[in-house]
Amino acid sequence: MSNGDQNLNVIKEKIGFIGGGNMAKAICEGIVKKNIIKYSQVYISAARNESLEYWQKKGAHATTINGSVVDEADIIFLAVKPHILPEAIANILDYKNEKDKSYKSKLFVSILAGITIAQLERALDFTENRIIRVMPNTPMMVGEGCTVFCPGQRATESDVNVVKTILEVSGVCKQVPESLINAVGALSGSGPAFVYLMIEALADGGVKQGIPREMAVQFAAQTVLGASKMVLDSGKHTGQLKDEVCSPGGTTITGIHALEKAGVRGALMDAVEAAAKKSAELGEKKH
């Protein structure tokens, strides 16, 4: 389905975010830009009023009360840091008990790193546990996201379709077994930060050789963008693409040799492994 076709899938439900940080902004910005929803359909909660100013300026409904978001919205994204989840749930329960509310018809979508569906079902035992676990990344803001999701047992086909509509408009979106979510989060969720570091390092190399900083950053970023597009569009193996740039005895193979001696390949593999392990550790803590 093309992005043009997806624009027809307007979401009528109200969408809530418990936590108004960068991932909430990335998801929301992506679907608003594609005319899937309007900011007037969005409900946001955050611990501090200063964090809500961004959302208020956009026209979203902003509050410091999590339970109010759950009460108003049909689809609620859990977008806080994993260690904040117990406090966030407690805030929801306080509001529920105080206002005598029922949340039986709610769909919860979790972007919490490391927190399993089973853990979420226990934490949200005051609902019917319609849960979908997702792992997005911040490039969703520019329509180049990479997201995976896994529905819980009680999630319906309709739930899956609406979440896919939200996620697909801003890049690649795939359903995977839950056992792969931590690994994908380490690769595509943490990966942009690894790439930013590489772009910065390439630009530094350019500056060292006399290229003005602004031009060095632009050329480094465009080089990474172009190389990525070559991988995605050509269908060729990355090794073949690399070999096509490396002339015998040339500059590129000399640079590749320097990278291999520095252990860049192993360092990147270690970075993904370390991020995946940390995600698993976050899930092992009690919530």
What average pLDDT does the chain have? 91
Q: Which fold has domain 3-176?
A: Rossmann fold (3.40.50)
- How far apart are the C-alpha atoms of 39 and 27, rounded to whole Å? 12
91 is in an annotated binding site: no
Is residue 1 scored above 60 in pLDDT? Answer: no
201 is in an annotated binding site: no
Nearest to 195 by CA among 146, 253, 261: 146
Q: Which residue has the higher pLDDT, 210 or 33?
A: 210
19 is in an annotated binding site: yes
Binned at pLDDT 50, 70 and 90, residue 5 comes out as very low
235 is in an annotated binding site: no
Residue 140: φ, ψ to 5°: -55, -30
Mean pLDDT of 260-285: 92
18 is in an annotated binding site: yes
97 is in an annotated binding site: no
Cβ proximity of 11 and 166 under 8 Å: yes
Q: Which residue has the higher pLDDT, 49 or 124?
A: 124
22 is in an annotated binding site: yes
pTM: 0.84
What pLDDT score was predicted for residue 266?
A: 97
* Torsion, Cα of 281, 64, 95, 111 (10° steps): -30
Output DSSP code: residue 4: H
82 is in an annotated binding site: yes
7 is in an annotated binding site: no
- How far apart are the C-alpha atoms of 167 and 136, rounded to whole Å? 8
Binned at pLDDT 50, 70 and 90, residue 285 comes out as low
Nearest to 17 by CA among 71, 86, 66: 66
Residue spans per domain, the chain: 3-176, 191-283
186 is in an annotated binding site: no
Is there a common fold for 3-176 and 191-283? no
Q: Which fold has domain 191-283?
A: ProC C-terminal domain-like fold (1.10.3730)
- How far apart are the C-alpha atoms of 223 and 277, rounded to whole Å? 31
81 is in an annotated binding site: yes
